[in-house]
Amino acid sequence: MTRTGGGAASARRGAAAIARRGLRAAILAGLATASATASGRLTVGDLDRAARARAAILEIDVPAARDALKDADPADLALALERGRLAIYEGDCDAASAILARPDLAATAEGAALGDIARGCARATAATVVVNDEERGVWVRLQDDDDRALVPLLVDVAARTRDVLAKDLGVELLRPLRIDLVRDQFTLSAMTGLPEEAARTTGTVAIAKWGRVTMLSPRATPSGYPWLDTLAHEITHLALSRGTRDNAPLWLQEGVAKREEVRWREPDPLDDVPSADAIAFLGIQRGLGRPLDKIGPSIAMLPSAEEAAVVFAEVASFIRYWTREAGDTALPQLLRRLKDASSDADLERAIAEISGADLAAWDKRWRSYLASVPADVPPDLAPGADMPHRQEVSKRVRLGQLLHDRGHHAAAAVQHARAQALAPHEPAVRCFLAAALLASGERASASPLVERVEDVHSRYGRWWSLHGLLHGGPDGDRAFSAGTALDPLNPDVACEEKLPPDLPGDPLRSALCEAARRRAR
């Protein structure tokens, strides 16, 4: 047993050494434009120490990275690069900017790229507010102090997700988990390096990079977005980066993140509407899909939101299929193997040895499986589909809202009813009609519009708050929670459909309600 254990440890050390050599090469490549000494040799510094520091940084192990860089010679170019990288990971963008501004470092490819990120982050985080929940190990930086009421929900979901990922993936995320909540996609781009045009094209609202999650405030979108599931999705990316030392391919990253984004909470009836299997199959049939290993550098950089949706469905469907067929332990095993991978061949070998077949074979099996599943997606949810009669629906909704705002609730209900007849499964239209009917005193007529979740095709915050009001009973709290998980700064949703000055009974929801009402003024 001792010999076997020693051999396994030796093999692990050998694999780790290979991985460090890969990091040394990466550091050298990034500093390839550095100035040379009088002897003509490139002076980059202590590459072994820099590789140890980078490995720790990529594992989001800040204490280990600090230890590796302790008492580093400020003149050492390779170590200075990693000091700058570490400062970005720690959220100290001013320190990172100062380190990366030195001319010899700024003249290198990687130093210049990191310097741009550091400066963009420093500009975006000037005068920000930091809330550090030491007990639960979550650090939140707010670009807008009015978002402070969102912090308890962010902290709670982050802590729950960290616990779920430890169980599902075998990866322990160190404390603190860092979250930046920003105002707009311009700031999201500046702090992460994602081109703003790409963020707008694909509708990107959050990115896990540089050891933290950067995400849009729900106030940045007209009707919010699934911000808490999005947070769980992005934290999964951090766990995958830590668990594989950033060696997970994109299809694995995104597929596992889609799988894990809802596991922090109870299932929602609309979690798989439309079915990822069906969207993947239809998307592939229409030429919108991509081979798993040919997605590109980021789904956020695909040419259209439509193609991004299909690729998300592909990777989600594949990972769900692979984990079901290969067994519950396959995924944690694969992540452990990837930590010391140094090539695509290592990934292929790991998949084959863990699950009995290589990626190409699994891809073929998965595509055969897709051909066997029902692909009866509602027309309005198919890839590239649009709401039927969108122009007429929008006109009726707008007219109805104008009438509603002027107190003509019965006339507003007539217009919204016409819109709802044209878009029967659109939850927003149902909510406009239900609100007009309630204001007219027609509670019985409003009730069926928000009764059955099976009647709608997408998740919408106010559908849940109206459902909680009209059908909640013992489950009302769950309905209101579902609403705030989608649109927390809508006063109707955050205030549980109460009118001012009434507030929800729970103190945290009361604070959220007040923040939502301030935003609406």
395 & 512 share domain: yes
Q: Which pLDDT band holds residue 26 (cuts at 50, 70, 90)? A: confident
Lowest mean pLDDT among 192-201, 277-286, 499-508: 192-201
Q: State what percent of residues in the chain have pLDDT above 70.
A: 93
Q: Is the pLDDT of residue 28 over 80?
A: no
Residue 18, pLDDT > 70, answer no
What pLDDT score was predicted for residue 45?
85
pLDDT score at 34: 53
Torsions phi, psi for 458 (to 5 deg): -155, 165
Question: Which amino acid is located at 49 in the chain?
Answer: R
Flag whether 163 is in a domain. yes
- Are 417 and 497 in the same domain? yes
pLDDT band at 33 (very low <50, low <70, confident <90, very high): low
261 within domain boundaries: no
Average pLDDT over every residue of 50-59: 94
Whether the CB-CB separation of 113 and 193 falls below 8 Å is answered with: yes
Segment 143-172, tens digit of pLDDT: 999 899 999 999 999 999 999 999 999 999
String of DSSP letters for 106-153: HTSHHHHHHHHHHHHHHHHTTT-EEEEETTTTEEEEESSGGGGGGHHH
Q: How far apart are alpha carbons 265 and 447 in whole angstroms?
A: 27
Last residue of a domain, one of 317, 352, 385: 385
- Final residue in a domain of this structure, among 356, 385, 414: 385
- Residue that has been written with the tokens 């594992």 in this structure: 59
User: What confidence category does residue 10 fall into, taking pLDDT thresholds of 50, 70 and 90?
Assistant: very low
Same domain for 394 and 362:
no
- Do 403 and 321 have their domain in common? no
pLDDT at 175: 95
Task: Please indicate, yes or no, if residue 149 is contained in any of the structural domains.
Answer: yes
Tens-place pLDDT, residues 73-96: 989 999 999 999 999 999 999 999
Regarding whether 474 and 365 lie in a shared domain, the answer is: no
346 and 379 co-located in one domain? yes
pLDDT: which is higher, 104 or 297: 104
**Whether residues 171 and 188 fall in one domain:** yes
Contact between residue 189 and residue 300 where contact means Cβ atoms under 8 Å apart: no
Mean pLDDT over 362-386 rounds to: 89
Q: Are residues 325 and 275 in the same domain?
A: yes
Query: Is it the case that residue 37 has pLDDT exceeding 50?
Result: no
Strand partners, 177: 138
pTM of the predicted model as reported, rounded to 2 decimal places: 0.91
In a domain, 226, yes or no: yes
Check whether residue 397 and residue 515 sit in a common domain: yes
Q: Examine the domain organization and report whether 229 and 273 are in the same domain.
A: no
DSSP-derived pairing of the beta strands 212-216 and 206-209: antiparallel
Determine the pLDDT at residue 343: 85
Whether 316 and 207 map to the same domain: the answer is no
For residue range 296-334, list pLDDT tens digits in order. 888 888 888 889 999 999 999 999 999 999 998 999 999
pLDDT number for residue 81: 96
The H or E element spanning position 374 is: none
For residues 309 and 332, state if they share a domain. yes
Q: Choose among 177, 185, 223, 178: nearest CA to 206.
A: 185
Among residues 124, 159, 190, the one where a domain terminates is 124
Round to whole Å and give the CA distance between 517 and 84: 41
Token pair of 415 as six digits: 């217009």
In a domain, 2, yes or no: no
For residue 7, pLDDT beyond 50: no
- When pLDDT is averaged across residues 58-66 and rounded to a whole number, the result is 96
Residue bearing the bigger pLDDT, 464 or 10: 464
Q: Is 90 part of a structural domain of the chain?
A: yes
In a domain, 495, yes or no: yes
* Separation of alpha carbons 481 and 468, rounded Å: 9
Of 480 and 378, the one with more pLDDT: 480
Question: Which domain range does residue 466 map to?
Answer: 390-520
The pLDDT-based confidence of 31 (bands split at 50, 70, 90) is confident
CATH of the domain at 151: 3.40.30.160
CA 229, CA 486: separation in Å to the nearest integer? 9
Which pLDDT score, from 0 to 100, does residue 21 have? Answer: 61
Please tell me what DSSP assigns to residue 380: G
Task: Provide the pLDDT confidence category of residue 459 given band limits of 50, 70 and 90.
Answer: very high
Burial tier of 7 (Cβ tally within 10 Å: 0-12, 13-18, 19+): exposed
Name every residue whose Cβ is closer than 8 Å to that of residue 198 and which is 6 or more positions away in sequence: 204, 298, 300, 301
- Evaluate whether residue 375 is within a structural domain: yes
pLDDT recorded at residue 19: 54
pLDDT band of 9, cuts 50, 70, 90: very low
Q: What pLDDT score was predicted for residue 56?
A: 95
pLDDT-derived band of residue 354, with 50, 70 and 90 as boundaries?
Answer: very high
Number of domains in the chain: 4
